[in-house]
C-alpha cells in the first residue's frame, strides 16, 4: 500500500482526525501555510480519494483522483504544538 507522506506529520495527523471518517484510499496531497510574512499560525491541508490504476505503468497503484472527493481543513500552529507535546 502506498504511504501517505503527510500522514506521519503532526499537521497530517490532526487533519485526518478533523476530516474523519475517510475512505481507505483517502490521501493528503497538499499542506501549506496561509498568510504572508513570518507569521505561521494556520496551515491549509487538503486530501482526496484516489483509485488504483487498472493498466499502464502505474497499474495497481493509487494514482487516479476521484472527482468530488477533495476535503480541506485548517490546522493551527497551537494544535500542532499540543499534538507534539502529547507524542
3-state secondary structure of 10: helix
- d(C-alpha 55, C-alpha 42), whole Å: 39
pLDDT tens, position by position, 49-75: 999 999 999 999 999 999 999 999 999
Q: Which contiguous run of DSSP H or E holds residue 14?
A: helix 10-19
How many Å separate Cα 43 from the centre of its chain? Answer: 11
- CA-to-CA dists, residue 22 to 15, 28, 45, angstroms: 11, 11, 14
CA angle 30, 83, 46 (to 5 degrees): 15
What is the reported pTM? Answer: 0.86
- Does the pLDDT at position 42 exceed 70? yes
Read off the pLDDT band of 2 (50, 70, 90): low
Amino acid at each position: 500500500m502506498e504511504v501517505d507522506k503527510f500522514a506521519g506529520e503532526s499537521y497530517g495527523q490532526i487533519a485526518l482526525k478533523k476530516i474523519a471518517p475517510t475512505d481507505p484510499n483517502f490521501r493528503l496531497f497538499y499542506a501549506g501555510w496561509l498568510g504572508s510574512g513570518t507569521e505561521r499560525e494556520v496551515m491549509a491541508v487538503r486530501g482526496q480519494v484516489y483509485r488504483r490504476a487498472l493498466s499502464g505503468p502505474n497499474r495497481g497503484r493509487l494514482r487516479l483522483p476521484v472527482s468530488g472527493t477533495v476535503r480541506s481543513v485548517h490546522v493551527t500552529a497551537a494544535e500542532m504544538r499540543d499534538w507534539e507535546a502529547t507524542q
